[in-house]
Each structure stands twice: as structure tokens, then as C-alpha cells.
Amino acid sequence: MACPERVTIVAIGPLTNIALLLKVFPETKERIECISMMGGGISHGNSTELAEFNIYADPEAAQIVFNSGLPTIMAGLDVTEKAEVTVREIESLKEKGRVSRMVGELLSFYNESGRQFGFTDSPIHDMCAVAYLLEPELFSGEYQFVNVITDEGRARGLTFADKRLVCGREKHVLVLEDVDRDRFAAMLFEALERLDGNTAQNVPNA
């Protein structure tokens, strides 16, 4: 509330705290520019066949956020699973600076764990919510009215878009659908190189 400019919220986990903010302190709503979130999936899920993890963890909170009327960017599985770094790119990090080597080790572990879910390369899910704010031209998508199934049952946590030409509801959620994978990966690696340079200057023998 004290910020002189409207605040952009980046949400990369379940939306419990954001929903509580809107319910307990509704006056903050007018101070929020937009919410850029990683979560959901129009075409499929991952925690279940229909629900993505962050939404499935608290679908009631997600419904509150989606129905808040706030401008929202939804980086769901539809786009995040296209935002991959390849095994070769991960291996190349191990020949670079200190930060890149550490990230390379983390991504190698992540890549191995992802294989049990059928992935060959590694989607960098959460980064999409930040990358869109930095370079929105990397992404394409469509404004939709998005809602969440909160009932118990197989569909709990499912995010769905009303794609009727006339749906009668405000389409205030930008559902990201595609990403320029090469430029997305380049953004990540350029950031790591800058961190490598900063670390080398500040840490002896880095």
C-alpha cells in the first residue's frame, strides 16, 4: 500500500497467500497492476491428468484469484512445457563460471528426475512468469475467462477457459500458449553469464 506505483505480483506456487491478501485486505486490489503466475493448464495437468500442481494444491484460492478481475498472465503447462533447456545446453553450463556450473548441476538432477515423467529435455516452468514481464514478445497467447473446478472428484483443480465466441464474462486472463524456445533459453544463459562475471569479481579464485 505504501508503494508509489502499482505492484506486479509474480506467483510461482499455490495461490493461497494471494487469495488471502485479496480477501483479508481487499483495499490492496487497487494497488495491484497485474499478477503473473505459473500454474494451471488448459490442455492437461501433471499432479493429475487434469490438474496442475500449483492449482491442485489449493483450487479454492486459485478460483478467488481468477475471479478477482485483476489482469492476470497465466503461464500454465500449455506453454511452460515448451520452455525447455536441452540436455546439451545443460552440459555446456558445466564448462562455464561458478554460478553456471552450480546451475548446471541442479538442472542435471532436475533433468534426471524429469525422465520418470517422460521428459527428455527440461521445462523451466517458473521462469516463464518472470520472462513474460521482461520480454513479452517471446510469448504468444490469448485472453480468456479462466475458472477452476473446486468440487471433489477427478476434475478437482482443473483450470478451464470458456472459449465460446460470446461467453458473457470478462476475459482478463492472458493464457500463454507458445514461446520462442531458443530466445527463452538464451535469456537464461545470458543471465547466468552476468552472474558468473559478478561472482568472479567478488570472490577470489571463483
Show which residues are catalytic: 125
Instruction: Please count the helices (runs of H) and the strands (runs of E) in the chain.
Output: 8, 8
**What is the rounded CA–CA span in Å between residue 164 and residue 156?**
22
Q: Find all residues with CB under 8 Å of 171, minimum gap 6, and list them.
A: 143, 144, 145
**What is the rounded CA–CA span in Å between residue 23 and residue 21?**
6
Torsion sign across C-alpha atoms 67, 176, 112, 85: negative
